[in-house]
Structure formats: structure tokens, C-alpha cells
Amino acid sequence: MLCVHTVARCVFRSTSIQPFRSNVAASRLASSRRRMQASFPRTFSVSSSDEPITISSDRHNITIRQRDGSTITQRISPTPKASSEKLAVALASLLSAPDSDPSTHPTFGTLQWELDSLGDAIHRHIAVSSPDESKSVVQLIMVESEKLNHHPHIARSDSEGSCMTITCTTHSPRGLSVRDTRLAMKIDEILAGFNVMVPARPGVSEDPENTKAKLATERGRMIGINRQAISEALESCACSTKSP
């Protein structure tokens, strides 16, 4: 089930959204996945040091090579049967994005996904211009989720619900799976039909750096909401106790 949490004035409530069939996505989302997949070559193997993403042989760490040649290594927690090679290839597209400079107009939204600090989920933040667009985004995601029989967690922030954090993870077996990356790619196709980088509205005297810091804090808070929803889902359905 799609988990949607609307947040207003720090009071959380769960909202159930019913899926509906729509052909809007097909006409709006044509080339996004091709552009995303073109960000890095799709034919590398996980052993080369020049790859954009590598997963360690013990499957506990992931190393991400940035455009300037530097690397970031962090924890990853894939599902037991997830292919390291397939997961690395998919994440290379999802964790990369066209170069952008948000310093002039800071935004809650991001162009790429981020790997959770626990390594078992990926998150993407978006900011749309109206509650109606927010509802459309969630409904279109629900349609694709139903097709894949795999659903994200979505937290919505502020009184209008125009800022959202989308989290893809696998409950059983627990961890990050190739199914999560497939769902994330579908979600990227949907988001390509919307402006999801709507600038934040800072205070009159607030400088951009302060605004960016506040946005980063809010993204972290929204991730926390989705992580809590994941924990509650695992407790209610006992997914974490099922064997792989």
C-alpha cells in the first residue's frame, strides 16, 4: 500500500489515496528515462575503478565517483538476492543528475535520488507549484506502483502539501533491491512531466545560504517521517520476520 503522510505545523496524519487509471503519463513523460540512463554508460562491470558506482565484494559499502574525480563511500544494505552489478548500474543513473546551480534559487526539490544513510532505501525530494499538482503526482505514481506491485512511501510537507519526499525500499526481504530502482526510474519519468524544482520562498531578509540550510534540515525531517512509516509497516505486517 502506498503510504502518504501529510505534515502541517508538525502534526502528522496519514492520508489514503485511491489509485485511478490515467493515460496522462504516457503523453507527458516520453524521453526522461532515456536521458537519465544516458548520464553514465550502462555496460560497465562492478570491478573497474573507473566506474561511476561500485559495490564492495562484501556488499556492505558503495563507492560513488563524482564528476571531479573524488569519491564518496557509504553504507549499502541490498536485499540478499539483489545483483550487485545490476544495482550498481541502476544507481549510477538514479544518483546522478545534470549539473545545476541551485544557489540563486534554493529549492526543496532535487533532480536526483539520494541513498539513505542506512543504505536500505533511496529518497527523492520534489517541490511543485500547487496542491493540485501534488495530488496529480501522487496519483500517477500510484498507477505505476500498482503495475509494478511495488509501492513507495511518500511524505508531504507544509499546509499545501506541495513539497514531498519519496522513498523506495523493499520490506521483504529487507533492504534495497533492483525493484526499488525500477520503481524510482518510473517515478522519474512521471516527474519529468512536472516542474519539481519550484524555488523556496525565503523570508525577506533571509540569505540563500540560510535558506539552503533550512531546506536540508527539512529534507532530513521528511526522510525521518518516511523511515518511521517503514518501521510501522514492518511491525504491522511482520515483513521483517519473513524469510527471504
pLDDT in tens, 164-199: 999 999 999 999 999 999 999 999 999 999 999 999
Buried b (16+ CB within 10 A) or exposed e, 106-116: bbbbbbbbebb
Rounded to the nearest 10°, the torsion over CA 106, 207, 159, 111 is: 10
pTM (predicted TM-score) = 0.78
CB 127 within 8 A of CB 200: yes
Asked whether 121 and 176 are in contact (CB, 8 A), the reply is yes
**pLDDT of 220 over the 80 cut:** yes
Q: Report the interhelical angle of 178-191 vs 131-148 (nearest 10°).
A: 140
Average pLDDT over residues 16-32: 38
Q: Per-residue confidence at 28, pLDDT binned at 50, 70, 90?
A: very low
Q: Report pLDDT for 42.
A: 32
Any idea which residue has 520562498 for its cell? Answer: 201
Mean pLDDT to the nearest integer, 105-118: 94
**Residue 28 and residue 25: Cα distance in Å, rounded?**
5
Residue 41 has pLDDT above 90, yes or no: no
Domain boundaries along the sequence of the chain: 3-241
Which CATH architecture best describes the domain 3-241? 2-Layer Sandwich (3.30)
